[in-house]
Amino acid sequence: MRHQKSEGVIVMIEVVPDAKQRLSLRSAAPRSSRLQWHPVTTDRFEITLRGATVGFIEIIGPVYVSLAGSRPDRAVEVAQSLVWTDALLALDPERTRGTR
């Protein structure tokens, strides 16, 4: 994440990793995060909560696609984002309760 200052306003920019760096997202997981992610392929991550699969994030170009469900073949798209953390939070059942 980079900070840029423009005309007195601080703008935070999250840099989307290229394909070779994507697997390093796993190591960026906050230790206190309830959600954990594990690479399945170079462009798909399994998202778990307390050991149970809650969804997947697929990387399509610069877009993170959030898919809710315990199986990739039956998961349903719930969000798209250019920001990893937004895609991850879209799969958090505590945050999305009542919005569906």
pLDDT in tens, 32-58: 478 899 999 999 999 999 899 999 999
Alpha helices in 2-92 (DSSP H): 84-89
Element (H, E) at 37: strand 35-41
H or E stretch covering 55: strand 52-60
Q: Does residue 69 have a pLDDT over 90? A: yes
Please state whether the predicted TM-score (pTM) of the whole model is above 0.85.
no
Q: β-pairing, 9-13 with 63-68?
A: unpaired
pLDDT class of 96 with cuts at 50, 70, 90: low
Cα dihedral 66, 68, 71, 72 in deg (nearest 10): -20
Does 19 score more than 50 pLDDT? no
Helix H or strand E segment including 93: helix 93-96
